[in-house]
Amino acid sequence: MQSDPSLDELDVIGPDTYARGGYPHAAWKRLREESPIHWFDVPGGVGFWAVTRRSDLVWISKQPERFINGPRLAVFEEGAPVEGERKFVRQLLNMDPPDHTEYRGTASAWFTPRSIQRRRVEVERITRDLLREMAGDGEVREGDFVRDLAAPLTLGVLADMLGVPRADWPKMFEWTNRVAGGSDPEFQTEPTTGGRNLASFEQVRNDLFGYFAELAAERRKDPRDDIISVLASSTIGGAPMPPLELLSYFFLLVVAGNETTRNAASGGLLAMIENPSELAKLRSDPRLISPAVEEIVRWTSPVIQFCRTAVEDVELHGKRIRKGDAFCLFYPSANRDEDAFPDPDVFRVDRRPNPHVGFGIGEHFCLGANLARLELNVIFAELSQRLEEIELAGPFERMRSSFLGGVKRMPIRYRLRPS
């Protein structure tokens, strides 16, 4: 395969790169300019085509029959067999039409704009309760934004929708950290060699599956107004949803619904701290909250990558993609594409239009996008009006992952108006 050796040396997939320096925006920029579809080898594993421009990401995502999700969820650096995960979980993100469409339909009514708007009062209540704790009497305080607000809020809202009893919320928190932090030694139950730990992944999957299997059985007998009840009694092709798919659905919702919004909220606050004039703009014009939320999702792009596998040979930007090759779609790169966004490296709460692809696009467009938007809307509407001072009080600690842009800790010093 012919390519510029220096481009080949760019690291866009090593989790240490992400943990140390955050997203490799300079590398993506070079790829967008010089080789928008670029082959990378994975030592000891299966290589991939890096897709870095927005237009290509959209083109590929909108052809779900030609570029499928099933065989390979994402690129993991350790070179484990690409099929490694599918025997453990079978969920929307590794399904394709027609299965995908039918499975997605079982829960989609819970995530429509109208259903989500009905949760606004509850989201506001949880946010204000947490902010009351954080604010104290309005004095200068220190805390960890991830621990004090971003994590418990996203966890609480989702656990409530699922129907998980409050006493079990800490378990959810641990599981989501262990899955999303699959390459981060801090979240592993067993020592890791530095790669992604599939044994640990299997263990957390088993814990989560065991827990939800019991709850699903209870709800089948005694249904309530929650997602567990809906999925536990749903049918696929006229028969009850099979156990692997049912339990994988809960697995997906717990992880996808927590790690992402939590990190958008933390990264969004960091962007406000680094750009105080943008925070001031939002404070003086609260109508900017919707564009501000879209800009936070564009800027933070908490999902780094998902793959699509070609089912036929195809040529793209002069590169020959063979049947079975995987495209790795880099969402944060597409969201900084200079062809789609003027001044892409500037954070602007009033950016309009903002055609970001932080929630993906096409068949697999994020099921929880309306929920994430609502949560971010409530958090930043409150913070922008009540924060009187804010600065970082220690390092913004990133998770060791090239899959989800996790934030482990965000120490802040702040003064928050009590209400």
Residues that bind ligand HEM in the complex, under the rule CB under 6 A: 61, 92-93, 104, 158, 252-253, 256-257, 260-261, 264, 297, 302-303, 306, 331, 358-362, 364-368, 371-372
Closer CB to ligand HEM, 135 or 155, in the complex: 155
Closer CB to ligand HEM, 55 or 365, in the complex: 365
Closer CB to ligand HEM, 27 or 329, in the complex: 329
390: left (phi over 0), alpha (psi -120 to 50) or beta: beta
By the 8 A CB rule, do 372 and 319 touch?
A: no
Strand-pair category, 48-51 with 326-330: parallel
| CA–CA separation, 275 and 407 (whole Å) | 19
Q: Give me the least distance between CB of 123 and ligand HEM, in Å please.
A: 11
Report long-range pairs for 38-44 (Cβ below 8 Å, ≥24 apart): 38/3, 38/7, 38/319, 39/1, 39/3, 39/319, 40/8, 40/12, 40/13, 41/8, 42/13, 42/75, 42/77, 42/79, 43/79, 44/79
Closer CB to ligand HEM, 60 or 135, in the complex: 60
Q: Give me the least distance between CB of 161 and ligand HEM, in Å please.
A: 8
Q: Which helix (H) or strand (E) holds 249?
A: helix 243-274
Q: In terms of Cα–Cα distance, which of 163, 369, 362, 164 is closest to 257?
A: 369
Closer CB to ligand HEM, 162 or 204, in the complex: 162
Q: Give me the least distance between CB of 288 and ligand HEM, in Å please.
A: 18
CA dihedral of residues 125, 129, 130, 131 (deg, nearest 10):
100
Q: In terms of Cα–Cα distance, which of 41, 35, 50 is closest to 9?
A: 41
Q: Give me the least distance between CB of 169 and ligand HEM, in Å please.
A: 15
Helix (H, G, I), strand (E, B) or coil at 418: coil
Q: What 8-state DSSP symbol labels residue 233?
A: T
269: tokens are: 């606050």
54: tokens are: 């927005």
Q: Give me the least distance between CB of 376 and ligand HEM, in Å please.
A: 7
Closer CB to ligand HEM, 136 or 242, in the complex: 242
Closer CB to ligand HEM, 96 or 325, in the complex: 96
| CA–CA separation, 311 and 305 (whole Å) | 19
Q: Give me the least distance between CB of 369 and ligand HEM, in Å please.
A: 6
Q: Give me the least distance between CB of 306 and ligand HEM, in Å please.
A: 5
Q: Give me the least distance between CB of 5 and ligand HEM, in Å please.
A: 31
| CA–CA separation, 11 and 284 (whole Å) | 41
Q: In terms of Cα–Cα distance, which of 108, 8, 24, 1 is closest to 304?
A: 24
Closer CB to ligand HEM, 188 or 301, in the complex: 301
Q: Give me the least distance between CB of 40 and ligand HEM, in Å please.
A: 20
Closer CB to ligand HEM, 68 or 135, in the complex: 68
